Structure 1
């Protein structure tokens, strides 16, 4: 999921280790500080969704983060609204809600 967040989910999983290996020195230190700041803001940690998937119940994730957590290669390229993941026997359902005034009626 870190690979997806840093590089946008457009690259193949096979190159993930090489990309993450570039996180050295100041880059790694900055990410470590950011993780500390984010961790200090946690109020409640929800239980894990599944032992094999790094997602938590009642948490917020982007489409790409969810797909990366389930091991989908190049998550940014997925355009389906439903994705079945055989390994986890899971249907991933994605819905886009646009609440702008241009797309909603007053009724």
Structure 2
């Protein structure tokens, strides 16, 4: 039971960025979906530009625990490193946030 909500503009990515990004997101969503919660897990994805980096914010409406600790999500961290980026997790009052930051590589806005 996972509901994913995406809030992002259409962009064209080079294959060397799009493939590891898609695989990393898949690994993160699978790690977050492993839950003892009774209802669906709501995951919201927001993509924004921060200075010289692109930030992908993933909001989850429950505590994260160690589901995305580097030892539990090695592939996600490996894909982030492949893109020259990082993964940071934060607990909040309403759940948790995962922030992935990586440098842009020839990102083009879709027309």
Where relative contact order (Cα < 8 A, 6+ residues apart) is larger, the structure is: 2
TM-score w.r.t. length of structure 2: 0.26
TM (norm. structure 1) is 0.27
